[in-house]
Amino acid sequence: MAAGRRGRLSASEQARMKRVYTRRRAVVAVCAVLVLVLAGFSTHAAMGGWRREVAAQPGAMAQTASQQPVAIADADMKRGRVPQVNQEEAARARWTNPTGSQPDLSQYSNLSVDVNLAEQKVYVKSNGKTIYTMIASSGMNDATPRGNYVIQQRGTHFYNASEGMGADYWVRFRGSYLFHSVPTGPEAGDYIASEGEKLGQPASHGCVRLTVADAQWFYNQIPEGTPVTIA
């Protein structure tokens, strides 16, 4: 019985133990709050240090953030140095490429060719309706003969030594008067750019010049005997 009495706490002792336990819980809670506060200050300080580092060395951040835009800008600058080349290519394309979408003339009947000297254009027609229009250069000083003719012989290249020029894909419509490409040198395909750039204005000695692609198409597609009107 004495041992059992010693194992039980009195009411005053139980109250004291409860107070101790409560204080310990309060201390633990305060410590936890302090840990969180200190962690927050540490993070804030680290971020501040990072910002100061970036501010002190802007090149590092700028290099990472703007690396791609700088590459694009460099590419744009490189393209910016090319306009002259592009202009030359565009000028060359004007007298080498087709004027438009070239039709397959085997699908058409009653073909005719009209040369408009005022417009410097050649119109290929079917049953009187225009199916293809080509930019051209006729003779200077009204040297291209007006009138009605027919398509005659043709060839792939000629060279006139007295004039120092030739042409590719020629098609005769009257005597020495031809449809042909922009002028060449002695060799086929050796086109004279300065002459090609005149396309669209009177520039020949009487022949009708066409772009290289149009002259080739005309050579391949226009049948012999097709009527030609020049006015």
Per-residue pLDDT of the chain (231 residues; tens, 9 = 90+): 444 444 565 666 666 666 766 776 766 666 666 656 565 555 555 555 545 554 555 544 444 444 444 444 455 445 555 555 578 888 899 999 999 999 999 999 999 999 999 999 999 999 999 999 999 999 999 999 999 999 999 999 999 999 999 999 999 999 999 999 999 999 999 999 999 999 999 999 999 999 999 999 999 999 999 999 999
Closest by alpha carbon to 135, among 198, 206, 191, 229?
Answer: 198
Rounded CA separation 133/117 (Å): 13
**In whole angstroms, what is the distance from residue 88 CA to residue 93 CA?**
9
Active-site residue numbers?
180, 207
* Rounded to 5°, angle at Cα 90 from 85 and 93: 125
**Residue 40 in 3-state DSSP?**
helix
